[in-house]
Amino acid sequence: MAAENTFAFRGTYYHTPTYGRLDVLRDVVLVVQEGKIVRIANGHEETEVQEEFGLAEVRQLKAGQYFMPGFIDTHVHAPQYQFTGTGTDVPLMEWLRKYTFPAECSFQDLEAARHRYSLLVKRFLANGTTTAMYYGSLHLQPNLVLVDSIERLGQRAVVGKVNMDRHSPDDYIEDTADGLRDAEEFVTYTLGKKCSRIQPCITPRFIPTCTPELMKGLAEIAQKYGCHIQSHISECCGEVNCVREMHPEYASDAAVFEEMGLLTNRTVMAHGTLLSDDDIRHLARRGTAVSHCPLSNFFLGDAFFKVNHALSLGLKVGLGTDVAGGISPSMLSAQRMAVVNSRCIRAHKLAVSGGTTVTPEMEKDVITFKEALWLATVGGAQALDLADVVGTFEVGKDFDALLVDTNLSGTSGPFDVFEGEDDDQRFEKFINLGDDRNLIEVYVQGVCVKRGDEFLLDGSNVSVKATEDDSDRIMSAPTPVEPEAAYLDLAHRADSSDEAASVDVGAAAEQSEPPTKRSRF
């Protein structure tokens, strides 16, 4: 007798258990029971496996079709999805004020939030993101809508309510006590769902918008419930200089987070482009991970994050799109950007050398699609404390997987396959050239959540292609407007000509170097 919820596929599976190596399981039968991989057998054992599990059939993948692990995006701002692909003209601190805070604030319209979050989760699933680490917005209620949308559509996620109690717009800020209360309510709401796919996350936005009181209180909540924590660290010059002015007694963002109790083995810090080696070593000692967001770093960061260097210092590293700072929701795009980023570091070193000799030292930051794929799967799983659950195909892990079809040629697919190309070449083409059209089935915890254009768990079954009904709602969703109220200009610099700036960090801005710096490590 077949146990319920048992199925098997025979075919080729790609994954990256080891950094820098692409492993292929050729012609295997993989059995999934109650969402977990329970058996990986050789293809020729199909009949025995079928009998053992009482399976009516073992589904055969076609030539050119492969399974791979679902992508894990370790840094997404859910309410920023609506303006992804726009607003690329200004640095981070101005970008927050001009585009981000107004957009996030508009999610108080819960009807609009429900619609937008449904589109968001579908878009990410369609692009193969089976697990996402999401920032929500400031207000409690829309975050509950986000959690409900994720639950309904079947994605795996770590989700946080954003906290910020200073240096924020008048209509997008919270009182410290209210923020702590709402953060705890968000955690208990999410845990109360008892949905093993969804975990709550404590989310102080970043140091400039959080008082020490808020950060310490949030750390206590995280400890009380064993929660994940996420924030932004050492992202760009504007942010780092702002933190130095606000907290002159600390040498770095990492030192501030350390003092607040926010560096744990369940913390993911985004960006880290300006982390020192000491900072990286410290995060590594704490078991804290960095979400590498290469595309966003090109737009909003001011420096390169060096993946190989960080890994060599023992840091856990995952990959993130950072929608909407990153202008693509696709983790395939993030992987390609990670490779390009690494090659920019090499080019930069050569340019600085002034010569025409590429040294081994210049080469050591370069990564290939194999390392990038590891970051997008195993690295992300480690960052989210899910390394025993997802990231590779192993007995005992959950089946979070993408069925890739490389047979879509001509105008029906993003690339062509030519005579004589083997499976490895076709798979590499998919990673470098493919898109959501190649992802014909998406599985989370053994459940097919998307097949073709259909989201199978969605009652209304609205596809990512907008229906008439969708377009009406898109039109009726309120367009965020820029607030008129004056508040701290986060983009302020000592040399800024913008007078509307500095409120209470103004005095600190006068000092070019803080008097004493505590590393606190």
295 binds ligand GUN (CB under 6 A): no
Q: 37-67: b or e for each residue (b if 16 or more CB lie within 10 Å)? A: bbbebebeebeebbeebebeebeebeebbbb
Total residues at the site for ligand GUN (CB under 6 A)?
12
Considering only residues 156 to 175 of the shown chain, the ones binding Fe ion according to CB under 5 A are none
Considering only residues 91 to 110 of the shown chain, the ones binding Fe ion according to CB under 5 A are none
Among 67, 172, 206, 393, interactor with ligand GUN by CB under 6 A: 206
CB-nearer residue toward Fe ion: 37 or 324: 324
CB-nearer residue toward ligand GUN: 15 or 271: 271
Q: How many CB atoms lie within 10 A of CB 83?
A: 16
The contact pattern for Fe ion, residues 260-289, with x = CB under 5 A and - = no contact, is: ----------x-------------------
Among 245, 279, 322, 428, interactor with Fe ion by CB under 5 A: 322
Query: Which residue lies nearest Fe ion, judged by its C-beta?
Result: 322
Q: How far is the CB of 244 from ligand GUN (least distance, A)?
A: 16
Among 165, 158, 168, CA closest to 136: 158
d(CA 347, CA 366): 10
Residue 235 contact, options Fe ion, ligand GUN, none, Cβ 5-8 Å cut-off depending on partner type: ligand GUN
| Three-class secondary structure assignment of 295-312 | HHHHHCCCCCCCHHHHHH
CB-nearer residue toward ligand GUN: 58 or 300: 300
Considering only residues 229 to 268 of the shown chain, the ones binding ligand GUN according to CB under 6 A are 232, 235
d(CA 197, CA 339): 30
399 binds ligand GUN (CB under 6 A): no
DSSP calls for 420-434:
T--HHHHHHHHHHH-
d(CA 71, CA 133): 11
d(CA 443, CA 169): 40
Total residues at the site for Fe ion (CB under 5 A)?
2
Residue 205 contact, options Fe ion, ligand GUN, none, Cβ 5-8 Å cut-off depending on partner type: ligand GUN
Give residue for tokens 């229906």: 467
Stretch that binds ligand GUN, among 92-100, 257-265, 306-314, 333-341 (CB under 6 A): 92-100
d(CA 346, CA 220): 42
Report the amino acid identity of residue 506: G
Q: How far is the CB of 101 from ligand GUN (least distance, A)?
A: 9
CB-nearer residue toward Fe ion: 72 or 403: 72
Residue 206 contact, options Fe ion, ligand GUN, none, Cβ 5-8 Å cut-off depending on partner type: ligand GUN
Among 30, 96, 158, 251, interactor with ligand GUN by CB under 6 A: 96
CB-nearer residue toward ligand GUN: 119 or 243: 243
73 binds Fe ion (CB under 5 A): no
Tokens of 144: 């509950």
d(CA 153, CA 363): 43
Q: How far is the CB of 82 from ligand GUN (least distance, A)?
A: 13
d(CA 465, CA 162): 30
d(CA 63, CA 407): 8
Give residue for tokens 């001011």: 302
Among 33, 100, 129, 502, interactor with ligand GUN by CB under 6 A: 100
- Sign of the torsion formed by the C-alpha atoms of 130, 131, 133 and 134: positive
Phi-psi region of 481 (alpha: psi -120 to 50; beta: other; left: phi over 0): beta
Q: How far is the CB of 171 from ligand GUN (least distance, A)?
A: 17
**In terms of residues, how long is the chain?**
521
| Contacting residues toward ligand GUN, per CB under 6 A | 77, 92, 96, 100, 205-206, 232, 235, 296, 300, 322, 325
| Contacting residues toward Fe ion, per CB under 5 A | 270, 322
